[in-house]
Structure 1
Amino acid sequence: MQIVIDTRPDEVLRLEHLLEGYNYTVWVNTYGPLGIKQTLEEALRSSVSKDCVVGNATSVSVGDARSQALELLLHAGDGGYGPLDLLTKRSEILSLAEALFQSVNLDQAENVTSFWLAKGHPAYPVFWDFAFDIHILGQRWILMGSSSD
């Protein structure tokens, strides 16, 4: 038997817990700080999965990255899937999302790239996913999230 210990921050684990639902689960993770001398794909292969292949990458504003992540984290789903009691948990979810953004220095970023993985995704995205490469003061953080059934 192998015992796996989830070492992600409590805020990430709580956010995922709050977003659990009927036929619906959310995964979020951060990686960093990492160096910026590597390409994005090299950084992903050293921190996320050796199989990572970036399918596309586009420069985005901090505001667009923030809006996209919040919109997806607050995705209500429909009658067949989605988080339970989203409206009653919204305030805490937003607070935890802010803590998540602070942990990767999103609001202070000098450069943000939105990307998706063609191969090597650490989770199983079904309904939505986001991934951002965040650069600030010679370092990078990677913020990823997805939902599945």
Structure 2
Amino acid sequence: MRVVVDTRTDEILRLEHLLEGGNYTLWLNSYGPFPLDRSLEAQLRHSVGKGCTVGGDSSTCASAARGEVIESLLHSGDGGYGPLELPAKRSEVLRLAEVLLRQVHLDRADIIRRFWLVEGHPAYPVWWDFAFDIQAQGQRWILMGSASD
């Protein structure tokens, strides 16, 4: 028997639980802090999975990254998929998202790169996904999320 311990933060686990729904599953994770002595791809292969291959990246700012994360988490879906009872959970989702964004030092970032994986994604993105390399105060945090059916 293989025992797996989920070491993700309480905020991530709660967000995943709150946003479960019909034909809809949320996956979130944050990694770090790490020193900046590895490339993004090398760090992903070390901390996320050996098969991670970055397809590309682009510079972004904290407000754009925050907007993308919030928009993704509040994605309502449609009649065939989406989180259950999202309007009633909205304020708690926003509160937890802000805690998560503080944990990865988004507002203190010197550099934020949005990236995508062509191989080795730890989840199965269908409806949406995001991935950010956040560098602040000489350290790196990686924030990733996706929704699937």
Deviations 1:61-114 (A, max 9, x none): 110000011101100000000000000000000000001001100011111000
Q: Tell me what 1:88 maps to.
A: 88
Separation (CA, whole Å) in 2 of partners of 1:41 and 1:139: 15
TM-score (norm 2): 0.98
Shift of 1:36: 1.2
Letter in structure 2 aligned against 1:70: I
Deviations 1:110-130 (A, max 9, x none): 110000100000111111000
Shift of 1:37: 2.1
Letter in structure 2 aligned against 1:34: F
Unaligned runs of 5+ in 1: none
Shift of 1:56: 1.1
Q: Does 1:56 align with 2:59?
A: no
Unaligned runs of 5+ in 2: none
Q: Tell me what 2:25 maps to.
A: 25
Q: Tell me what 1:41 maps to.
A: 41
- SS of the equivalent of 2:94 reads helix
Q: How many residue pairs were aligned?
A: 149
Q: Percent identity between the aligned chains?
A: 61
| 4+ aligned runs moved over 6 Å, structure 1 | none
TM-score (norm 1): 0.98
Letter in structure 1 aligned against 2:64: D
Separation (CA, whole Å) in 2 of partners of 1:34 and 1:51: 19
Q: Tell me what 1:113 maps to.
A: 113
Separation (CA, whole Å) in 2 of partners of 1:3 and 1:43: 25
Q: Tell me what 2:100 maps to.
A: 100
RMSD: 0.7
Shift of 1:3: 2.5
